[in-house]
Structure 1
């Protein structure tokens, strides 16, 4: 870390040179990385990086994109933001990025931080539990014991995510009679302990069924606490009434100005009807547009042809996002079609070593890699585009190869990755060497 005061003029002279010359001038337009006035002083907490590898464009032949152009730069981070970027320079005391690639921090948009075996004794799943209903019955028995260590386990899981380059998660948290509001309260403690290095959104999630477990009162209490989204679960299969369940969820979100994020595992007709009814309710309440999400939404994987295309158009118009955990096997989600129609698509690691699944590495790059393999994306351009599902749609280069991240003013949430470009990082699930969250180092392995 560097904690010395430098004038901007001295910094430019020592590290950047004349901004119209050298590597930056040939790689990126100077207007992209314009320097601030020389008179301004860097604060004592400013961080200066050298040997930062950035993507600057695509290489092409007469047929296709064949590679990604990169160059080394210096970068200043101050007050949690990227302040300036310029030609590389060997300034004394700067943090040496050692030529590692700068990529956006990963964003895990669907996980359950409140219930995990991670950090404890290994345990695989049982053949006794085959349905969501079976899992609800299991949770009613095991959650009281899991609560005893839930805060420590959540912190361990956050640390795992950070080591994989993730600095933010949207966590669903159980709200049901077995744990009351304690899962939420315990997670608050973990979030508080990690608040300087990790960001969290919370979904109040009636895991055992809104009406099935009579959780309406608990959900209303949770809605008045420090949460961001009202959750839901399979309105027909679990609660037996699509409209009643969705109406309650929508009204609760409206009453307390929250977003909506509903687990929808139902893949048949009831799943499709749920999607259609939610679209209708969001269109009736435009304040929910851009704040409403369907997690999993396996019903889309069963649609084809005109029905699929029209449904994707409707989701895009209502600005309802899909958070797919990218299942593999017999069900292939229509992620390319969702993208084509402009639907916001995100992913998450969901269960990381818990009673739902023994799998999960905590890596969002693994999710991007899985998407690439499922849909046959193997070219330089295709692989580079897959990164966006891991970063909540932030990419260094646009489709034409124009540099769009990072830029001065961007929040300093980034990774240093042992890769030559985004495409390689996705294809090889490259090693994360360091993670910065709002300009603070959250994880580092630069040896």
Structure 2
């Protein structure tokens, strides 16, 4: 699209209709937006503003605009996308899964860019314009996966932003990978990752210390995967929190999965949640349906930032997954029975980096003049419907440029 133009007939959530002191439904309105240099410079109700301009005009045809989605837990280097169909080989435990994965790493690394690009396109078509990807750093493939993923991400410049987590999938201590992790951070990884200091590295304190030490050395944030269940996982989370506090790494760490928070009692979970909130430690969840998950509802109430991701899918770990972040938000709403209008609309924040369209009183929070002109256009009447129905994505816009689909309603919907 041109550098400056009017985008007309954009449907936005505009408030709530209250019945008997409860939110009954969402009000929407149609707006015209003036977009210049990737920024929404002006917004006017379409019904009250006769558009008079000699400049370019593009018609959103009353599609609903939502904030762009963020995929906050992915493994671009693992997917089989782009390769012939292959189902998952069953294994009895995590260590055996790691052994099986190690056998195919070198072969898969040769097609890393191709497979990652297939995944990125799938994520983009679903409305995700940011991805946090974990990339294996281990003795089996060295920097090969990192190089392949960097090339794939470069191809999506201007379409998606990203974070790369240097991820010691086979154990930081178990495979003596600290040197490789240091090299990965020098060569473009932006976060330090970790994995099950107890269940994989068999030394909780030493593994966590080495991970935090790397983060401090490179002034990097942390994203550690803690699958370990019950009190083993809970102890690990508590120990991590103490090291984060000691290092002064407040608001710079995340725990992916954190299954233990769903295994222990509510009292224990709430106690840890308060500590996580105070230290700004986020929780990244994939909303699994095959095991207990961390209590997102109570974590959120305690002020813990919770974000969702699709994880790796169609890979050696699992053949399932769609890459659709809106589906993740809908599954979360189903999991916690968030079925009223307000709860459905608010569940969107778990895939937008905390951005909501409306507050509880119905005041619009997004979009506003001055915001980036980045949005997802969906065939829905409001955000609540979009979440409940996983509504079709017609187009995706980043900084004022269409990067997926089209704004002609019929052709855009047919393309999906």
Question: Which range, TM-score by smaller chain?
Answer: over 0.9
- Tell me whether 350-359 or 247-256 shows the greater mean CA deviation: 350-359
Q: For 1:425 and 1:166, how far apart are their aligned partners in 2?
A: 15
**Aligned ranges 1:260-275 → 2 under 5 Å:** 260-275=222-237
SS, match of residue 393 in structure 1: coil
Q: 1:63 aligned to 2:21?
A: yes
What does residue 227 of structure 1 align with?
189
Q: Verify the 8 A CA contact 1:264 1:294 in the aligned structure 2.
A: yes
Q: How far off its partner does 1:130 sit?
A: 3.4
Higher radius of gyration, 1 or 2: 1
Q: Verify the 8 A CA contact 1:46 1:77 in the aligned structure 2.
A: yes
Aligned residues: 403
Q: Verify the 8 A CA contact 2:230 2:264 in the aligned structure 1.
A: no
- Summarize deviations over 1:255-304 as a string: whole Å, max 9, x none: 11000000000012221111001110111122x11110000010101122
Normalised TM-score (structure 2): 0.94
Q: 1:99 aligned to 2:62?
A: yes
Q: Verify the 8 A CA contact 2:231 2:264 in the aligned structure 1.
A: no
Q: Verify the 8 A CA contact 2:14 2:29 in the aligned structure 1.
A: yes
**Aligned ranges 1:334-413 → 2 under 5 Å:** 334-413=295-374
What does residue 45 of structure 2 align with?
87
- Tell me whether 396-405 or 91-100 shows the greater mean CA deviation: 91-100
| Structure 1 residue ranges without an equivalent (≥5) | 4-44
Structure 1's 55 and 330: CA in aligned 2 closer, same or farther, altered over 3 A?
same
Which segments of structure 1 move beyond 3 Å, counting only runs of 4 or more?
A: 89-93
Q: How far off its partner does 1:330 sit?
A: 4.1
Q: For 2:361 and 2:245, how far apart are their aligned partners in 1?
A: 34
Q: Verify the 8 A CA contact 1:100 1:417 in the aligned structure 2.
A: yes
Q: Verify the 8 A CA contact 2:163 2:190 in the aligned structure 1.
A: yes
What does residue 141 of structure 1 align with?
103
What does residue 48 of structure 1 align with?
6
Q: 1:425 aligned to 2:386?
A: yes
What does residue 414 of structure 2 align with?
none
| Structure 2 residue ranges without an equivalent (≥5) | 412-416
Q: Verify the 8 A CA contact 2:95 2:200 in the aligned structure 1.
A: yes
Q: For 1:148 and 1:197, how far apart are their aligned partners in 2?
A: 25
Q: For 2:52 and 2:107, how far apart are their aligned partners in 1?
A: 54
What does residue 18 of structure 1 align with?
none
Structure 1's 413 and 131: CA in aligned 2 closer, same or farther, altered over 3 A?
farther
- Summarize deviations over 1:149-204 as a string: whole Å, max 9, x none: 11011111111111101111000000001110110011111111111211110100
What does residue 153 of structure 1 align with?
115
- Tell me whether 222-231 or 333-342 shows the greater mean CA deviation: 222-231
Q: How far off its partner does 1:132 sit?
A: 1.9
- Summarize deviations over 1:323-351 as a string: whole Å, max 9, x none: 01111244142111101100000010101
SS, match of residue 111 in structure 2: helix
Q: 1:281 aligned to 2:243?
A: yes
Q: Verify the 8 A CA contact 1:351 1:359 in the aligned structure 2.
A: no
Q: 1:251 aligned to 2:209?
A: no
1:208 to 164, 167, 170: 170
